[in-house]
Structure 1
Amino acid sequence: MKEEYWYSHIQPKIIVEEYIKSERYKPPIDYKFMIFHGRVEFIHVTYNRFDDTTTKRNFYDRNWNPINVKLHFEKGQGVDKPPNLDRMIDISEKLGEDFEHIRVDLYNPSKDEIYFGEMTVAESSGGNPFVPQKFDFELGSLW
């Protein structure tokens, strides 16, 4: 965690969380909302996690239009727009309203459930570049 130096001030502990079951994916899709000045600008979804051979990540704008961006994992076939997308955007924007930039991660394992994952200011600990590189500059312009 040397890239995320702020964690060095936190006493290490073990946290055990309940496993979230998904109707389709195991583990459930990880929806990552990229927020700038309280507004979701981009969303990336990661699925088939914890297996580097099958993990996929796709990027979308806030209206669920796919965008051609890659971060660490290969792009997949695409993921259907979640029926709760508007609600997840509202939750993410509420959680991120006081930050210049933050990423809010949510899970939506069924049509009736939304779970909070985490919030972070450091995408991939700042260690994985976006492809194409111009996406980094696009994100920076939103800051």
Structure 2
Amino acid sequence: MKLPIQAKRYAFSQIVKLSPIVGSKLLFWKTFKYRLNLENPQTFTEKLMWLKLFDDVEFKRRFTDKVKAREYMITLGYSHLLVPTIGIFDEVDDIIFEQLPRKFVLKCSHGAGFTIVCENKREMDYSQTKLQLAEMMAMDYSLKHAEPHYAMIQPRIIIEHFIEPSTNNVSNEYKIHCFHGEPKLIEVNADCSMPKQQKLMLTYDWQNTDYMKEKFSHDETIAKPEQLEELLAIAKKLSKPFMYVRVDLEIVDEKIYFNNFTFSPDACLNVDIHEEANQKLGQWLELNIGKTKQPVSYARSK
């Protein structure tokens, strides 16, 4: 008899509460069908798992929190890269939707994918949106994929202005993978109009790495941005404190915006890169195994 999906999720969350390490090993086995090596990790995915569990989880939590990440950007003098906010709220009921502009974006501070984009307030069902927000606010995202740095973040709702490109322009997101403070790879979507996003990994000088299993042409649909050097300089400065982080930036009408820091992309379960690339990227990460090993910070119990 198969368990309902909700029951499986609950059971897994209880395992993660007891041990994020065991939860991570289960996820890894389910995804790749071989055991996760945390004693001597070699591949990119294995080393990301090690970092997720042992690399000063408390420190990374400060930058995972979307509100505190904004504060950090301001201290670095990068306030001009932040999308202007309309407000930050502790409770769903504190939001007065009638007073919001016609277009806006709702984000929760404590998880990934907790975003609601409103392009026309007249078409929004306020009651349904409040229910959706309440579900997001109540969720402990750290339990979903055994990611301790998402635990114990104060759930808050950030309302940002809706930034849209002018006519005939498009917005492009650049996910810059940084290793030991050096931008090494730029992940972009080749064609966002496709049902399944076509991802490419490019070098810092905009050459296709061919690291992805699915081959897509590298052509004018993802032309090199004029602000490439500036993107890399920003990523280099932001990534300096970390062994690994993906700095997610966006360009809209030639202006750069900061989106977020990502410490465990794809929940450290990237199935899109081929094995040779997984090995090569793993060599770029030098871990401090045996020198410093922080205890795993457990997820919230509530």
Which band: TM-score by shorter chain? 0.7 to 0.9
Q: Which has the higher helix share?
A: 2
Measured after TM superposition, the shift of residue 77 of structure 1 is 5.1
1:138 maps to 280
Corresponding residue for residue 85 of structure 1: 228
* SS in structure 2 of the partner of residue 117 of structure 1: strand
129-138 or 93-102, larger mean C-alpha shift: 129-138
**TM-score under structure 2 length normalisation:** 0.42
Cα distance between partner residues in 2 of 1:7 and 1:39 = 24
Task: Kindly report structure 1 stretches of 4+ aligned residues shifted beyond 6 Å.
Answer: none
Match of 1:70 in 2: 212
Partner of 1:97: 240
Shift of 1:129: 2.0
> What is the CA–CA distance in structure 2 between the aligned matches of 1:110 and 1:36, rounded to whole Å?
29
CA distance in 1, matches of 2:191, 2:163: 14
Higher mean C-alpha deviation, range 4-13 or range 100-109: 4-13
1:16 maps to which of 159, 169, 190: 159
Determine if contact 2:208/2:218 at 8 Å carries over to the other structure: no
CA distance in 1, matches of 2:178, 2:232: 10
Within the candidate set 224, 237, 249, 1:106 is matched to: 249
- 1-side partners of 2:165 and 2:188: how far apart? 15
Q: Distance in 1 between matches of 2:267 and 2:226?
A: 30
Residues 6-61 of structure 1: CA distance to partner in whole angstroms, max 9, x if unpaired?
A: 21211222222222223533xx2110111011111110113655x77152222100
1:41 maps to which of 176, 184, 191 = 184
**Distance in 1 separating the partners of 2:258 and 2:235:** 9
Inter-CA distance 123–76: structure 2 relative to 1 (3 Å threshold): farther
Q: Is the 8 A contact 1:37 1:100 kept in 2?
A: yes
> Residues 88 and 106 of structure 1 are in contact (CA less than 8 Å); yes or no, is this contact kept in structure 2?
yes
Identity %: 26
The number of aligned residues is 138
Matches of 2:211 and 2:177 in 1, distance apart? 13
Distance 1:82 1:18, change over 3 A: same
Change in CA separation of 1:89 and 1:97 when aligned onto 2, cut-off 3 Å: same
What RMSD, in angstroms, separates the aligned Cα atoms of the two structures? 2.3
Whose strand proportion is higher, 1 or 2?
A: 1
Distance 2:158 2:217 in 1: 31
CA shift, 1:125, in A, is: 1.5
Larger radius of gyration: 2
Post-superposition shift, 1:64?
A: 0.3
| Alpha-carbon contact 2:200-2:216 (below 8 Å) kept | yes
In structure 1, the partner of 2:257 is 115
Q: Is the 8 A contact 1:56 1:76 kept in 2?
A: no
Matches of 2:249 and 2:210 in 1, distance apart? 22
